[in-house]
Structure 1
Amino acid sequence: MTSETTHTPTPEQIRRAPKVLLHDHLDGGLRPGTIVELARETGYDALPETDPDKLGIWFREAADSGSLERYLETFAHTCAVMQTRAALVRVAAECAEDLAADGVVYAEVRYAPEQHLDGGLTLEEVVEAVNEGFREGERRAKEDGNRIRVGALLTAMRHAARALEIAELANRYRDLGVVGFDIAGAEAGFPPTRHLDAFEYLKRENNHFTIHAGEAFGLPSIWQALQWCGADRLGHGVRIIDDIQVGDDGGVTLGRLANYVRDKRIPLELCPTSNLQTGAAASYAEHPIGLLRRLHFRATVNTDNRLMSGTSMSTEFEHLVRTFRYTLDDMQWFTVNAMKSAFIPFDERLAMINDVIKPGYAELKSEWLFRQVPTAPAVTSGSSPAES
């Protein structure tokens, strides 16, 4: 094994490494200070804390509490301050800036337009505001020396009845900043099959969609998302581990669904820290991502809700590097997996891989190798130490 495959990256190298993010919620990634300012501007007075630092802590503790009621309350606060065009533009721009500063070069950020109508905006106005914000964030990032491309995923809520309407909206703004469709919300009791009309419409339009499945609910949710609905990717999909048996001797046996997911190269949008919060794994060491990577599933690393999880793409990779001793090669493997699975045209994905991702990792590896080469001691004039 060569030195470049055994080197454990430092936190700084992890931050600088080009990263690709496929599963990130816009209303789950606001800056605490922005929430406080927007609440003040809009007259929203229900925040549990008005000090940004304390508010950030409150969000993380509420998400870690184990109480679904408290966890859902966190999104009630963020959505409450995202009801105006100006607020949506600001939040989207800051999202792009924050991701770019963390080394993310491509991101697909999702949000549910139907959750931002309380201030009188139309669905179209919501989409246009968020798209404007992403473009502004990309511009600011470029000025700061960072590059990023952000695509929007329009999300419909499982418990509502607007999935077809949101799917049509996603198709209308296709090639105008929206790259696909998503469905989210409680899995148990709200199967994706309730919205088959939306998925059939998207398939007829040759459009892309992912489905939250296999997070809080198990294999039936994954099977329905794939076989009944035809999802391109699985949002989370971590419970595919339920169809994988590891014997006492270390031997691994895949069930038919797990084999299908691996054979068809169906991307898994894994979110390690979030999965710990929701109970899908007890610790990073026990998170299925280690086994799924070893078995060569199309595994990707994601943040889910950066505010609620107190995380970033760099933080997620730091946990994995520390836990599984992953190297820059492993990081590149996850990143290429994600870029291959993005909802943009093939030639654009290939260009990102060959022109941005691979050169970025090659530079980091060469820097480390250069530091390992011993240098000859410098020759100086005058007496040597032994002569003085």
Structure 2
Amino acid sequence: METITDILNIQEIRADFPILDQEINGKKLVYFDNAATTQKPTPVINAIAHYYNFDNANIHRGIHTLAERATRDFEASRTAIRDFLGASSTEEIIFTSGTTQGINLVASTYGRKFINAGDEIIISGMEHHSNIVPWQMLCEEKGIVLKVIPVSDEGELDLEAFEKLLSEKVKLVSFNHVSNSLGTINPVKTIVDLAHKFGAKVLVDGAQATSHINIDVQALDVDFYVFSAHKLYGPTGMGVLYGKKDILNAMPPYMGGGEMIKEVTFEKTTYNELPYKFEAGTPNIADVVALKTALEYTDKLGRENIAAHENMLLNYATDQLREIEGLRIIGNAKNKISVLSFVIDGIHHQDIGVLLDNQGIAVRTGHHCTQPLMQRFNILGTSRASFAVYNTTEEIDRLVAGLHKTIKMLK
């Protein structure tokens, strides 16, 4: 029977990521902080360099060759992202600086125009701060009520409680596809269908999902979907907002400036068509172009293959970590991506991170920008190991050995 290791040559894949070929504190680097950002393969790095070496020009405005090439590649990336998300039109693909800006764009435009005093917004108890704070700001500004879906001891959303929160007052439901702290995969379609019964729009934070799960925004019937390129083997400082075309058309512009206008006089300005209405100023052209390369890279490996490899790593690591005395995994949902957050009795998570780093092992420690979720579990933070396609079981063995050494030193 063919296994995932027969399909993916992990050592060849690792060779595509030059950052992995180094030592940290005299030890071969083990990079387990992929939920924060994934490393970049050589084709993505080369795509950025190629743009600046050969095609650097502003887009949409020039008629010279460099401008035409830059525009062509920029819009080709929009088409690739449309296909990646399963959107119906490139007009529904808005380029942003990342997930955070995408959420703020919706809060500042759709929220300010269509959600009013006395209305309600629902988020979940496992949200990243970027999917909490914009809604709090909007609620404080307009007298809107913010409600929260509870999280179970296993790290899953309480759907019965969610249904009880729903009413005609709810105008928006905003939640993450996957928890960055727990790895929980939330039942998006179920939540969307329940929210739509009451006429609420739905925004899904896909930052942690896009590198692990196939996305089809039409099948999910989401109204908005946001993600960041840098968690998908792409560059930092670049992200995407998907929105249904009719909703985007009804929303006012987010920022004023060049590109988002059709005609400007001192008396009146008329705005551009989608998607440019929401893309004021010179965009992050090189990184937009490079995201297409990142999508092509994962397509070549096969996203199902990547998911299978990561799931194998998750299961292996879960079994190994559960054998460590005093270690407790936070987040044991039935459906998870390759994220393992844990605490060890009597040891501060930051001490764990420092001592693992001394052994060349990079994990994330702290509250992971989910302080309310940490409060839900009555902890200050966790140590988090998150796996990507280039990680191996041998690296997990090093993590386990490193944790044993850490415990021996601190207890």
TM superposition score normalised by structure 2 = 0.24
TM superposition score normalised by structure 1 = 0.25
Indicate the structure with greater helix content.
1
